[in-house]
Amino acid sequence: MAAFLICMITVKVPLQEAERAKQELMRQGYFLSGYSVQKEGDHLYFPVKERFDSPYAFEERALEARPEQPQGLRETLKGKLPADVLGRLKTAYDQVGDIAILEIDDKFKGYDATIGKALLDTNPKLRTVLAKATGHEGAYRTQHMRLLAGEDKRVAVHKENGVSLIVDVEAVYFSARLSTERKRIMERVQPGERVLVMFSGCGPYTCTLAKNTEAEEVVGVEINPRGHELAEENSKLNELTNVKNYKGDVREIVPELGEFDRILMPLPRSAETFLDVALGASHQGTIIHFYSFLHEDDYAQADTWIQGVCDRAGRRFELLGSVKCGQQAPRVFRWCTDVKIL
Ligand SMILES: C[S@@+](CC[C@H](N)C(=O)[O-])C[C@H]1O[C@@H](n2cnc3c(N)ncnc32)[C@H](O)[C@@H]1O
């Protein structure tokens, strides 16, 4: 039978990133099933529903139409939930190891068990399905979760960028969506660098950088005791000998640690209030990766904050660039502003 070809939008993904990229596309709901995936040279071309903010290039290609593959959560729930509930349900979810985390509106709480069970049926790699019960809260930026189905646990081992991370999804901030950003930073670290990760959580940045670069030393500072405890465990789990984790407030600890070649500030809600601390640990040539949540019309605000702190300290900086590395709300993004202190 002749193949039926249709011109589709695809994302071009390097082969070695294909599995992770496909999972991410499925999680975000952009992956289009029912069409062939093409391979050409060192890349795969995944069919997607539309263009979106992506680290990969888009290309239009003629793909073969295929019979529908295994069902997603929405299809599995058809007939099990009232149509209006299903229509308004967010079926995209985060996966941390074998735990899935959904965002379900409180008014659909009565359907928790049905939704959780359907997700376990859809994805055999899952053992636990949780729903976010609150947004990120407090100084530790943690979220409460409620159990929908499966094993009642909050700890899982998550794999990304060649490291294994023990994560407690309720007691410590962690976002699997940031693995691409961690890889971006990892690719910039030069041999022999001394790197500081302020606000280091359970160690996703410290472990990724220590494992995949030739940094001389990677230092993490985290105020949440459970985050620090897991960061220590994760350094051991990945057999890292060039990581040091400190428990406490960066304002008290960082001034005792000397100077660094690279400083990460992954606290987008209020990192600007710690820029003076980062500047104090910078020498000429230090690169700072500064994270913020800003509206796309207002992203230059980050440069203004950095300019203000440098002016007060009599220092100068060069702006290396700003990248979007996540979305927080319509037109509000997580930005990373990269600067070099001169
Ligand atoms: C957005 S989370 C990022 C965690 C981790 N870097 C990651 O990407 O998974 C920010 C972290 O900063 C920590 N934190 C907040 N204020 C702090 C401070 N003054 N000193 C040290 N850590 C702090 C919080 O406990 C939280 O774990």
Say if residue 97's pLDDT is above 90: yes
Asked whether residue 167 is domain-assigned, the answer is no
- For 338, the token pair is 């990269």
* Ligand 1 center from residue 235 Cα (angstroms): 17
Q: Say if residue 325's pLDDT is above 60.
A: yes
CATH number of the domain encompassing residue 101: 3.30.300.110
* Residue 281 reports pLDDT greater than 90: yes
Q: Which atom of ligand 1 is nearest to the CA of 139?
A: 15
Number of the ligand 1 atom closest to the C-alpha atom of 268: 1
The whole-chain average pLDDT of the chain stands at 94
* CB neighbour list of residue 145: distance below 8 Å, 6 or more residues apart: 101, 130, 131, 132, 133, 154, 169, 170
Q: What is the pTM of this model?
A: 0.82
- Name the token pair of 187: 């690719």
User: What is the reported pLDDT for 152?
Assistant: 98
- Judgement on whether residues 141 and 253 belong to the same structural domain of the protein: no
Q: Mean pLDDT across the stretch 284-310? A: 97
CA of 140 to the centre of ligand 1 (A): 6
CB 43 within 8 A of CB 14: yes
Number of structural domains in the chain: 3
Ligand 1 centroid to Cα of residue 163, in Å, is: 20
SS3 (DSSP) at 19: helix
Range of the domain at 196: 175-341
pLDDT digits (tens, 9 = 90+) for 255-279: 999 999 999 999 999 999 999 999 9
* CATH value at residue 40: 3.30.70.2580
CATH number of the domain enclosing 216: 3.40.50.150
Q: Are 96 and 17 in a shared domain? A: no
Over residues 14-36, the mean pLDDT reads: 88
Instruction: Order across the sheet with 260-265: list the strands.
Output: 243-247, 217-222, 194-198, 260-265, 282-295, 332-341, 317-329
176 touches 96 (CB < 8 A):
yes
Q: Which residues line ligand 1 (CB under 6 A)?
A: 139-141, 173-174, 178, 199-201, 204-205, 221-224, 227, 249-251, 266-267
User: Of 223, 245, 250, which is best to mutate to test ligand 1, by the most ligand atoms within 8 angstroms of its C-beta?
Assistant: 223
Query: Is residue 201, in this structure, part of any structural domain at all?
Result: yes
Q: Is residue 158, in this structure, part of any structural domain at all?
A: no
Determine the atom of ligand 1 nearest the C-alpha atom of 182. Answer: 8
What's the mean pLDDT in 145-171?
A: 97
Whether 306 and 337 have beta carbons less than 8 Å apart is answered as yes
Residue-wise pLDDT for 212-263, tens only, equals 999 999 999 999 999 999 999 999 999 999 999 999 999 999 999 999 999 9
